Amino acid sequence: MPPRHVNNRMLLTIAAIGVAAVTAFPAPANAQISPKLGPLFATKEKSEPQGPFVPVIGKVDYGTAENRFGAPRTGHIHQGQDMFAPAGTPEIAPTDAVVLETGSDGGEGNYVYLYDAKRDRTYVYMHMIAPAIVHAGEKVKAGQKLGGLGCTGSCWGDHLHFEVHDGKGFEAPAEDPLPLLKDWKSLRKPL
């Protein structure tokens, strides 16, 4: 029962103000309403863009036919897609993944292999400008920076050699990454 000095007219006015406040300040579309506090105390969720993302930040040039998957090489075929951009351009994880291996050798240059368990795929990055900034066993998020594009190992011109293999590791035959790359979103900077 309301206190004696509060009449029905005052209660209706208070109720109307509450309804007006709710309709004047609606919650954002992606807000979550706290069940304890009600709609007046809605909180907006932080939403980050979701991958898959093109593994090179910014504008990419896919080169010519010799840079494409399946192009003839001495004793083998090209198993990836070359992606040209200026030296040092950030390279990112296309999806949430775990780092399988990083290293450097004469052919691949500085490299990193990522495994995406959700899609059961391995992504291979070669010729990075410097050793990867991530380490084997580390979990990475879609859009997270792995290192920079370069020309280490056996290469000509700054580019990312990007491969996609089914399963964990690169024992399975490579598949053409270009259709995936054309479907994935581009970012302006790492997340």
What pLDDT, in 10s, does the model give residues 119-138? 999 999 999 999 999 999 99
Domain extent for 14: 8-44
What pLDDT does 6 receive?
Answer: 52
What pLDDT does 30 receive?
Answer: 53
Q: Is the pTM of this model over 0.85?
A: no
Give yes or no: residues 133 and 163 share one domain: yes
Residue 82 domain flag: yes
Instruction: State the chain's mean pLDDT as an integer.
Output: 83
Residue 122 domain flag: yes
Quickly list DSSP for the chain: ---TT--HHHHHHHHHHHHHHHHHSPPPTTEEEETTTEEEEEEEPP-PPPS-B-SBSS--B---GGGSTT-EETTEE--SEEEE--TT-EEE-SSSEEEEEEEEETTTEEEEEEEETTTTEEEEEEEESS--SS-TT-EE-TT-EEEE-B--SS-SSSEEEEEEEESSSS-SPEE--HHHHHHSBP-SS--
Give yes or no: residues 18 and 92 share one domain: no
Q: Which residue has the higher pLDDT, 11 or 136?
A: 136
Give yes or no: residues 80 and 164 share one domain: yes
